Amino acid sequence: MHSTRHDPTDRHALAPARLAAAGLTGLVALGTVALASPWASTDHHPTALIDALFTAVSAASLTGLVTVDTSSHFNLFGQIVILALIQISGLGVMSLASLLGMVLRHRLSLRHRRVAEAEGRGISSRSIKGTLQATVMLTLVVESVIAAVLALRFALAYGHSWGQAIWLGVFHSISAFNNAGFSLQSDSLIGFVGDWFIIGPISLAIIVGGLGYPVLAEVQRRCRGTAARPWSVTSRITLLSTAALIIGGALVFALTEHRHTFSGLGPSSFAAASTFASVTARTAGFNSIDYGQASPITLMMTDALMFIGGGSAGTAGGVKVTTVAVLAAAVLAEYRGREHTTVGRRMIPSSTVRQAMAVMAAGIFTVVIATALIRALEPHFDGDAIVFEVVSAFGTVGLSTGITGKIGAASQLILAAVMFLGRLGPFTLVASLALRHVDKRFSYPEERPYIG
Label the pairing between strands 4-6 and 346-348.
unpaired
- Is the model's pLDDT at 429 over the cut of 80? no
| Residue 435 burial (C-beta neighbours within 10 Å; 0-12, 13-18, 19+) | middle
According to the per-residue pLDDT averaged within each range, which of 69-83, 186-200, 208-222, 291-305 is highest?
A: 69-83
Dihedral sign, Cα of residue 399, residue 405, residue 411, residue 416:
positive
* Predicted confidence (pLDDT) per residue in 399-413, tens digit: 999 999 999 999 999
DSSP string, 156-177: HHH---HHHHHHHHHHHHHHHH
**Least confident window among 133-142, 313-322, 383-392, 442-451:** 442-451
Give the pLDDT score at 426.
62
- Is the model's pLDDT at 3 over the cut of 90? no
* Predicted confidence (pLDDT) per residue in 231-281, tens digit: 888 899 999 999 999 999 999 999 998 888 888 888 888 899 999 999 999
Give the pLDDT score at 444.
75
Q: What is the average pLDDT across 290-304?
A: 91
Helix axes 321-335, 350-377, angle to 10 degrees: 120
Q: Which of residues 225 and 332 earns the better pLDDT score?
A: 332
* Predicted confidence (pLDDT) per residue in 91-129, tens digit: 875 464 444 444 444 444 555 555 555 445 444 445 556
On whether the CB atoms of residues 72 and 435 are closer than 8 A, the answer is no
Percent of the chain surpassing pLDDT 90: 55
Residue 343 CA to residue 360 CA, distance in Å, equals 19
- Confidence class of residue 167 from pLDDT cuts 50, 70 and 90? very high
* Predicted confidence (pLDDT) per residue in 345-389, tens digit: 889 988 889 888 989 999 999 999 999 999 999 999 999 999 999
On whether the CB atoms of residues 155 and 139 are closer than 8 A, the answer is no
Helix axes 321-335, 233-257, angle to 10 degrees: 100
Give the pLDDT score at 122.
47
Give the pLDDT score at 312.
81
Q: How far is CA 240 from CA 56, 142, 211, 310, in A?
A: 34, 22, 11, 11
Report the first-to-last Cα separation within the chain, whole angstroms.
35
Q: What mean pLDDT, rounded, does the chain reach?
A: 85
Within its chain, how far is the Cα of 281 from the centroid?
A: 11
Within its chain, how far is the Cα of 73 from the centroid?
A: 25
- Confidence class of residue 445 from pLDDT cuts 50, 70 and 90? confident
Q: What is the average pLDDT across 429-434?
A: 51
Percent of the chain surpassing pLDDT 70: 83
Give the pLDDT score at 326.
94
Q: What is the average pLDDT across 214-237?
A: 81
Angle (nearest 5°) at CA 425 between 110 and 24: 65
What pTM, to 2 d.p., does this model score? 0.87
* Predicted confidence (pLDDT) per residue in 50-72, tens digit: 999 999 999 999 999 999 999 99
Give the pLDDT score at 368.
98
Q: Which of residues 169 and 188 earns the better pLDDT score?
A: 169
* Predicted confidence (pLDDT) per residue in 14-55, tens digit: 555 677 788 889 999 999 999 999 999 999 999 999 999 999
